[in-house]
């Protein structure tokens, strides 16, 4: 792949592998291949650890001067930190924690939290609940990050599944109400995309026209690559499961977000069965439909993020059909058998 792009300098942006205690699976979405320094100016990169993953923001400072590019990159990273606190499942400053512990009472939240939850409800409706922001009673039964690798009891899972219904969420202005006992929201399938959108907006407001925003593989390629397309590598899921870095394809984009949901991100294996973090909301169990990853390309990173999860849950046929109906949305489905299918408008190259 890299050899196919002599002008492209490979850079792998690797999400936190989360293997502090020997966890079986790593966490990476995409590898970014990018051209550095055509303009002669050094890009400014900031790296941080937020949202349980490695966040990397690179600002190309042409015209702004290096110091303003640095300020913009610093400001962008601060913004990620603020949203991380608001949207994380726990912590004092978390709006999500407030909503989940409110016992059905209305909760006043920050404007962005209300905005994100409103969008997440829309995506839940659009995908007929394949993406569902109220999936928390199920996700909380699995420990994909820590070391207690166990499959929850079938009865416990079905009780949790009965609590999942995005229609229980109501947003009025900046007030969120989550009706029903035992319900809770989990924004893990959409928050990174939403934050990427906000960072892009912030950078544009700072006069930045070209940047790469990478939230643990949830990538926004802002602007163009000195007149050309950005090349964003898509990880080979089979290699990723084996703990290796390899690309299976690369998409060519301008001003687009590229988001992948894959089985290799978080999970564990018991007796040869892979249990990963993308759950079917109807059952509370990891989706097992022959797919290994789904990549969504669109100008709206929150939409891409939610759709990558939803299309994975829907499976290749229904997921592809949904993506084809959505204007400005392209998708790439990679199967466990190594095959891949893309929407008609996706511009991509296979590796090798
Ligand atoms: P990642 O977080 O690795 O980028 P995804 O975007 O696919 O991957 O999001 C997976 C996360 O979304 C899970 O860790 C969980 O928090 C949440 N989630 C899992 N299944 C669903 C679902 N069906 N609908 C909404 N959220 C989900
Ligand atoms: Mg997602």
Q: What is the pLDDT of residues 259-274, one digit of tens each?
A: 999 999 899 999 999 9
Tokens of 47: 């790296």
What phi-psi label fits residue 338: left (phi over 0), alpha (psi between -120 and 50 degrees) or beta? left
Ligand nearest to the CA of 164: 1
In this structure, the residues whose C-beta lies within 6 A of any atom of ligand 1 are 131-132, 135, 139, 186, 188-189, 192, 218, 261, 265, 277-279, 281, 305, 308-309, 313
User: What average pLDDT does range 188-199 have in this prediction?
Assistant: 98
Ligand nearest to the CA of 276: 1
Residue 345 confidence class, pLDDT cut points 50, 70, 90: very high
> By alpha-carbon position, which residue is closest to atom 11 of ligand 1?
189
pLDDT at 11 over 80: no
Choose which residue among 53, 122, 277 to substitute to test ligand 1 binding: the one with the highest number of ligand atoms within 8 A of its C-beta: 277
pLDDT score for 8? 26
Q: What does the alpha-carbon distance between residue 12 and residue 123 come to, in Å, rounded to a whole number?
A: 30
Measured in Å, residue 236 CA sits from the centre of ligand 2 at 18
| Owner of token pair 């035992």 | 182
CA distance from start to end of the chain = 6
- Protein residues near ligand 2, an ion, with CB under 5 A: 189, 261, 305, 308-309
Measured in Å, residue 139 CA sits from the centre of ligand 1 at 9
> By alpha-carbon position, which residue is closest to atom 19 of ligand 1?
278
Ligand nearest to the CA of 186: 1
> By alpha-carbon position, which residue is closest to atom 5 of ligand 1?
189
Choose which residue among 15, 25, 131, 278 to substitute to test ligand 1 binding: the one with the highest number of ligand atoms within 8 A of its C-beta: 278
User: What average pLDDT does range 161-173 have in this prediction?
Assistant: 98
pLDDT score for 42? 81
Ligand nearest to the CA of 187: 1
- In tens, the pLDDT along 208-249 reads 999 999 999 899 999 999 899 999 999 999 999 999 999 999
- In tens, the pLDDT along 272-296 reads 999 999 999 999 999 999 999 999 9
Average pLDDT, the chain: 88
- Looking at the chain, the whole-number percentage of residues with pLDDT higher than 90 is 83
Q: What does the alpha-carbon distance between residue 116 and residue 190 come to, in Å, rounded to a whole number?
A: 8
Residue 61 confidence class, pLDDT cut points 50, 70, 90: confident
Ligand nearest to the CA of 134: 1
Measured in Å, residue 181 CA sits from the centre of ligand 1 at 22
Measured in Å, residue 65 CA sits from the centre of ligand 2 at 35
Give Cα separations from 238 to 113, 215, 234 (angstroms). 36, 22, 12
Measured in Å, residue 43 CA sits from the centre of ligand 2 at 28
∠ Cα 265 248 197 (to 5°): 55
pLDDT at 117 over 80: yes
Measured in Å, residue 165 CA sits from the centre of ligand 1 at 15
pLDDT score for 188? 97
> By alpha-carbon position, which residue is closest to atom 23 of ligand 1?
131
- For the chain, give the secondary structure using H, E and C: CHHHCCCCEEECCCCCCCCCCCCCCCCCCEEEEECCCCCCCCCEEEEEEECCEEEEEEECCCCCCHHHHHHHHHHHHHHHHHHHHHHCCCCCCCHHHHHHCCCCCCEECCHHHHHHHHHHHHHHHHCCCCCCCCCHHHHCCCCCCCCCCCCCCHHHHHHHHCCCCHHHEEEECCEEEECCCCCCCCCCCCHHHHHHHHHHHHHHHCCCCCEEEEECCEEEEECCECCECEEEEEECHHHHHCCCCCEEEEEEECCEEEEEEECCCCEEEECCEEEECCEECCCCEECCCCEEEEEEEECCHHHHHHHHHHHHHHHHHHHHHHHHHCCCCEEEEEECCCCEEECCCCCEEECC
pLDDT score for 48? 97
Measured in Å, residue 240 CA sits from the centre of ligand 2 at 18
């Amino acid at each position: 792949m890299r050899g196919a792009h002599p002008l492209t300098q490979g850079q792998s942006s690797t999400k936190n592998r989360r293997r502090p205690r020997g966890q079986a699976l790593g966490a990476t979405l995409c590898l970014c291949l990018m051209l550095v320094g055509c303009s002669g100016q050094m890009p400014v990169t900031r790296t941080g650890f937020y949202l349980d993953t490695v966040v990397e923001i690179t600002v190309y400072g042409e015209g702004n001067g290096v110091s303003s590019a640095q300020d913009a990159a610093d400001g962008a990273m601060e913004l990620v930190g603020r949203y991380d606190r608001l949207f994380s499942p726990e912590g004092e400053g978390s709006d999500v924690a407030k909503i989940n512990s409110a016992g059905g009472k209305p909760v006043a939240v920050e404007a962005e939290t209300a905005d994100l939850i409103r969008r997440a409800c829309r995506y839940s409706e659009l995908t007929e609940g394949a993406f569902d922001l109220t999936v928390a009673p199920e996700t909380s039964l699995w420990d994909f990050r820590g070391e207690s690798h166990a499959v929850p009891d079938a009865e416990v899972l079905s009780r949790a599944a009965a609590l999942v219904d995005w229609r229980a969420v109501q947003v009025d202005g900046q007030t969120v109400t989550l009706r029903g006992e035992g319900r809770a929201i989990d924004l893990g399938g959409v928050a990174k995309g939403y934050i990427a959108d906000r960072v892009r907006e912030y950078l544009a407001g700072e006069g930045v026209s070209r940047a790469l925003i990478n939230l643990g593989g949830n990538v926004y390629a802002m602007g163009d690559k000195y007149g050309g397309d950005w090349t964003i590598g898509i990880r080979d899921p089979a290699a990723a499961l084996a703990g290796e870095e390899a690309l299976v394809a690369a998409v060519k984009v301008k001003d687009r977000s590229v988001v992948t949901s894959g089985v290799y991100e978080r999970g564990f294996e018991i007796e040869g069965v892979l249990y990963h973090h993308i759950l079917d909301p109807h059952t509370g169990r990891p989706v097992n439909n022959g797919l290994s990853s789904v990549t969504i390309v669109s100008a709206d990173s929150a939409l891409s993020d939610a759709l990558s999860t939803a299309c994975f849950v829907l499976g290749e046929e229904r997921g592809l059909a949904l993506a084809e109906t959505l204007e400005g949305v392209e998708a790439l489905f990679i199967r466990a058998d190594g095959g891949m299918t893309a929407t008609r408008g996706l511009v991509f190259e296979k590796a090798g």
